[in-house]
Amino acid sequence: MVKYSPNAFVIIVSNPLDAMCYVAMKVGNISRHRIIGLSGVLDSARMRAFIAMELKVSMDDVHAMVMGLHGDSMVPLPRYSTISGISITEFMSREKIEKIIERTKNGGGEIVNLKTGSAYYAPGSAIVQMIESILKDKKRILPCAAYLDGEYGIKGVFMGVPLKLGIKGIEEIIQLKLTDDEMASLHKSADEGKKTISQIKL
């Protein structure tokens, strides 16, 4: 791909998502601004669906933010998850929010258990959002996997973080103000990613 389309943007979908992004970047010698992993958009869409179902509201009004690795150590952020701009903490108890967080973390497995093979509709929808934002220069803010080089105090690993996606690919990594607990969860997720990377011999 790099040989014939050296300036292409690359969206990685294969699992383990974050490690595959790292391999593609290193093997293809691709700029970190041109390689993006499908993670947060998919995980956030699942969280949005679970919030909408729980509160019986339109999913169109629900926005959710999920950061970290695409897997068990993902970091759903209720403070940055809203219904028409109002935090979900205003609508639900801590216990209900915790249940949605757990269901979000296990969302992929839940879908696989209901059908044969892997999920495809939600990933496909998420990929369309990412591609449209780049090709149409929409500059949408979407949570996707990007290579971190000091953002959030993390280096050397791909993680789901809010990105501005436009005609130049990753145009900005948005750094949210996280609480100490949220930051600790994000760094724990990063450590999991680094552990996987350490096992890859390039």
Catalytic residue among 33, 63, 70, 187: 70
Q: Is 65 helix (H, G, I), strand (E, B) or coil?
A: coil
187 noted as active-site residue: no
Sheet of 169-173: strand order equals 10-12, 35-37, 140-149, 155-166, 169-173
Contact 40, 146 (CB under 8 A): no
Q: What gap in Å lies between CA 106 and CA 143, rounded to an integer?
A: 18
**For residue 25, what are the contacts with CB-CB under 8 A and spacing of at least 6?**
32, 35, 147, 158
Residues taking part in catalysis:
70
